[in-house]
Structure 1
Amino acid sequence: MTALLDPANDLPSPEQERIAILERENWKLRRINKALMDRVERSMDYHGNAFSLFQTAIVLESRVRERTQQLEETLRKLEASNSELATAKELAETAQTRLAEAIESVNEGFALFDDDDRLVMCNRTYLSLWPAIAEMIRPGISFGEIARLAAARGSVLSDSSGPDRWVRDRVAQHAGADGTHVHALADGRWIQINERRTRDGGIVGIYTDITDVKERDARDGQERIRLITDAMPALIAYVDADETYRFVNRRYGEIFRRPRHEIVGSTMRELLGEPAYLLRRPHIATVMAGFETQFDLEFDTRSGKRYSQATYVPHFAPDGGVLGFFSLIQDVTERRSVAEALREANEGLERRVAERTAALQQEIAERQQIEAKLREAKTAAEQANLSKTKFLAAASHDLLQPLNAARLFVSALTETEQEAGARVLVEKTDAALLSVEDLLEALLDISKLDAGVVQPQLDDFPLAMLLSSMQAEYAPVAKERGLDLRVLPSRAIVHTDMRLLRRILQNFVSNALRYTRTGRVLVGCRRLTDAVRIEVLDTGPGIPPDKLEAVFEEFRRLEGDRPAGRDRGMGLGLAIVQRAGRMLDTPIGLRSHLGRGSAFTVTVPLGSKQRPPQISSVRMSPPASPLTGARILVIDNEQAILDGMGALLRGWGCQVQVAPSAPAAMGVLPALGGWPDVIIADYHLEDGELGVDAIAQVIQARGRDIPAIVITANRTTSVHERVQNDGYALLTKPVKPAQLRALVTQLIG
Structure 2
Amino acid sequence: MPDLNARNLLNPADPPERQREKLLVIAEALMRRVEQATDDGGAAYAQFQRAAMLEDQVSARTRDLERALDLLNQSNARLGEANRETEAARQNLADAIETVQEGFALFGPDDVLVMCNSRFGMHMLDLRDHLKPGLPFDEYVERVSRSRYLALPEGETPQDWAVKRRRRHQDRHVIFNVRLIWDRWLQISEHRTGNGGTVIIQTDVTDIIRLEREARGRMLDDQARIIRATLDHISQGVCIFDAERRLVGWNQRLGALLAIPMQRFRMGVGFGTLMERLEHEVRFGEGMTAQRFADWVMGGPGRPALSFELQHGTLILQAHAQEMPDGGFVVSFTDITAERAARAALSAVNETLEARVMERTLELADALADAERANASRARFVAAASHDLLQPLSAAKLFIGSIEAEALEPFAHEAVTKAQNALDSVEGILAALLDISKLESGRLAVSPVPVRLDRILNPLREEFAALAAAKGLRLTVMPCSAVVFSDPAYLRRILQNLIGNAVRYTAQGRVLVGARRHGGMIRLEVRDTGPGIAEEDQDAIFREFHRLDAPASASEGMGLGLAIVERACAALGHPLGLQSEVGRGSCFMLQLNRAEGLTEAAAPAPRRDLPEPQGTQDRIAFLVENEPDLRRAMTLLLEKWGVSVLDAANGEEAAALIEEIGILPDVFLVDQQLGEGMSGLEFIALIRARHGFLPACLITAQRTPQLAAACVEAGVKQFLKPIDARALEAWLAALPAAA
Q: Does 1:513 align with 2:503?
A: yes
Aligned twin of 1:74: 65
The amino acid of 2:400's aligned partner reads V
Aligned twin of 2:452: 462
**Counterparts of 2:355 and 2:188, CA distance in 1:** 82
> Pick from 50, 54, 66: which aligns with 1:63?
54
Structure 1 residue matching 2:632: 3-state secondary structure: helix
- CA contact under 8 A between 1:555 and 1:571: conserved in structure 2? yes
Aligned twin of 2:139: 145
The amino acid of 2:671's aligned partner reads D
Q: Deviations over 1:523-560 (max 9, x none)?
A: 12233455333222223333455433332222223346
- CA contact under 8 A between 1:110 and 1:206: conserved in structure 2? yes
Structure 2 residue matching 1:395: 3-state secondary structure: helix
Structure 1 residue matching 2:618: 3-state secondary structure: coil
Aligned twin of 2:433: 443
The amino acid of 1:88's aligned partner reads G
- CA contact under 8 A between 1:112 and 1:119: conserved in structure 2? yes
- CA contact under 8 A between 2:102 and 2:203: conserved in structure 1? yes
**Counterparts of 2:74 and 2:536, CA distance in 1:** 129
The amino acid of 2:736's aligned partner reads I
TM-score normalised by length of structure 2: 0.73
- CA contact under 8 A between 2:483 and 2:600: conserved in structure 1? no
- Alpha-carbon offset, residue 498 of structure 1: 2.6
Structure 1 residue matching 2:42: 3-state secondary structure: helix
- CA contact under 8 A between 1:108 and 1:207: conserved in structure 2? yes
Q: Does 1:116 align with 2:116?
A: no
Root mean square deviation of aligned Cα: 4.8
The 1:508–1:672 alpha-carbon spacing in structure 2 relative to 1, beyond 3 Å, is farther
Structure 1 residue matching 2:547: 3-state secondary structure: coil
- CA contact under 8 A between 1:184 and 1:191: conserved in structure 2? yes
**Counterparts of 1:150 and 1:710, CA distance in 2:** 111
The 1:232–1:688 alpha-carbon spacing in structure 2 relative to 1, beyond 3 Å, is closer
**Counterparts of 2:49 and 2:578, CA distance in 1:** 146
The 1:584–1:699 alpha-carbon spacing in structure 2 relative to 1, beyond 3 Å, is closer
Structure 2 residue matching 1:413: 3-state secondary structure: coil
The 1:665–1:119 alpha-carbon spacing in structure 2 relative to 1, beyond 3 Å, is same
Q: Deviations over 1:587-607 (max 9, x none)?
A: 333344444333333233344
Aligned twin of 1:358: 348
- CA contact under 8 A between 1:504 and 1:580: conserved in structure 2? yes
**Counterparts of 1:594 and 1:230, CA distance in 2:** 79
Q: Does 1:477 align with 2:471?
A: no
Q: Deviations over 1:485-541 (max 9, x none)?
A: 111123443333332222111111112222233332211223345533322222333
Q: Deviations over 1:365-385 (max 9, x none)?
A: 211221122123212221221
- CA contact under 8 A between 2:620 and 2:644: conserved in structure 1? yes
1:703-722 matched pairs, under 5 angstroms: 703-722=691-710
1:660-675 matched pairs, under 5 angstroms: 660-666=649-655, 668-669=657-658, 674-675=663-664
**Counterparts of 2:12 and 2:263, CA distance in 1:** 101
Identical pairs, percent: 31
| Further displaced range: 661-670 or 354-363 | 661-670
Q: Does 1:643 align with 2:632?
A: yes
Structure 1: any 5+ residue segments left out of the alignment?
1-20, 41-45, 237-282, 314-337
Structure 1 residue matching 2:403: 3-state secondary structure: helix
**Counterparts of 2:223 and 2:709, CA distance in 1:** 94
Structure 2 residue matching 1:681: 3-state secondary structure: strand
**Counterparts of 1:579 and 1:234, CA distance in 2:** 69
- Alpha-carbon offset, residue 401 of structure 1: 1.0
The amino acid of 2:210's aligned partner reads A
Q: Deviations over 1:584-636 (max 9, x none)?
A: 343333344444333333233344443324537999xxx95421111111111
**Counterparts of 1:517 and 1:83, CA distance in 2:** 129
The 1:296–1:679 alpha-carbon spacing in structure 2 relative to 1, beyond 3 Å, is same
**Counterparts of 2:589 and 2:437, CA distance in 1:** 24
| Further displaced range: 103-112 or 541-550 | 103-112
Q: Does 1:88 align with 2:80?
A: yes
- Alpha-carbon offset, residue 717 of structure 1: 2.4
Q: Deviations over 1:80-111 (max 9, x none)?
A: 95798599399589859967995897686553
- Alpha-carbon offset, residue 646 of structure 1: 1.0
- CA contact under 8 A between 2:511 and 2:527: conserved in structure 1? yes
Q: Deviations over 1:178-222 (max 9, x none)?
A: 7986533346544455667778664555546566x46xx737965
- Alpha-carbon offset, residue 706 of structure 1: 0.7
**Counterparts of 2:87 and 2:535, CA distance in 1:** 117
The 1:378–1:529 alpha-carbon spacing in structure 2 relative to 1, beyond 3 Å, is farther
Aligned twin of 1:390: 380
Aligned twin of 2:513: 523
**Counterparts of 1:297 and 1:544, CA distance in 2:** 74
- Alpha-carbon offset, residue 398 of structure 1: 1.2
Aligned twin of 2:689: 700
- Alpha-carbon offset, residue 448 of structure 1: 0.9
- CA contact under 8 A between 1:22 and 1:74: conserved in structure 2? no
**Counterparts of 2:116 and 2:636, CA distance in 1:** 136
- CA contact under 8 A between 2:405 and 2:413: conserved in structure 1? no
Aligned twin of 1:185: 180
- Alpha-carbon offset, residue 359 of structure 1: 0.7
The 1:169–1:529 alpha-carbon spacing in structure 2 relative to 1, beyond 3 Å, is farther
Aligned twin of 1:682: 671
**Counterparts of 2:528 and 2:223, CA distance in 1:** 91
| Further displaced range: 593-602 or 609-618 | 609-618
Aligned twin of 1:51: 42
> Pick from 204, 208, 218: which aligns with 2:210?
218
Structure 2 residue matching 1:686: 3-state secondary structure: coil
**Counterparts of 1:677 and 1:655, CA distance in 2:** 10
The 1:169–1:729 alpha-carbon spacing in structure 2 relative to 1, beyond 3 Å, is same
